[in-house]
Structure 1
Amino acid sequence: MTIAQGERLPQAQLTIMGESGPTPIDAAELMGEGTTVLFSVPGAFTPTCSAKHLPGFIEHADALRAAGADRIVCMAVNDIFVMDAWGKAAGVEEGDENRIVMAADGNGDFAQALGLEMDGRAFGMGLRSQRFALIVRDGVVDQVLVEAPGEFRVSSAEHVLSVLG
Structure 2
Amino acid sequence: MSNLMDKVKGKVEGDKSSGGSTGPLKQGSKLPSVGMLKENHPVEANMDLGTLSGKNIIVSVPGAFSPTCSDQVPGYLENAEKFAAHGVKGIYVVAVNDQFTVDAWKSKLGGAKSPLVHFIADDEGKFTKAAGMDFDSVAFFGNRRSKRYAAIVEDGVVKSIWTEDDPTKVTVTSATNVLQALG
Amino acid of the structure 2 residue aligned with 1:39:
V
2:141 and 2:75 map into 1 onto residues whose CA distance is 27
Cα offsets for 1:77-122 (capped at 9, x unmatched): 00111111110111011xx444410101101111111111011111
Runs ≥4 residues deviating over 4 A: none
1:6 aligned residue: 28
Q: Kindly indicate whether the alpha-carbon contact (under 8 Å) linking 1:68 and 1:164 is maintained by their aligned counterparts in 2.
A: no
Structure 1 residues 1-165: aligned runs within 5 Å:
1-13=23-35, 14-17=37-40, 22-29=44-51, 32-50=52-70, 52-93=71-112, 96-149=113-166, 150-165=168-183
1:124 and 1:48 map into 2 onto residues whose CA distance is 13
Measured on the aligned residues, the alpha-carbon RMSD in Å equals: 1.7
Q: Provide the aligned length of Structure 1 versus Structure 2.
A: 159
Aligned-partner SS, 2:27: coil
Amino acid of the structure 2 residue aligned with 1:130:
K
Normalised by the size of structure 1, how large is the TM-score?
0.89
Structure 1 unaligned segments of length 5 or more: list them: none
Q: Decide which structure has greater strand share.
A: 1
- Share of identical aligned residues, percent? 38
Structure 2 unaligned segments of length 5 or more: list them: 1-22
Q: Kindly indicate whether the alpha-carbon contact (under 8 Å) linking 2:80 and 2:114 is maintained by their aligned counterparts in 1.
A: no
Q: Decide which structure has greater helix share.
A: 2
Q: Kindly indicate whether the alpha-carbon contact (under 8 Å) linking 1:79 and 1:106 is maintained by their aligned counterparts in 2.
A: yes
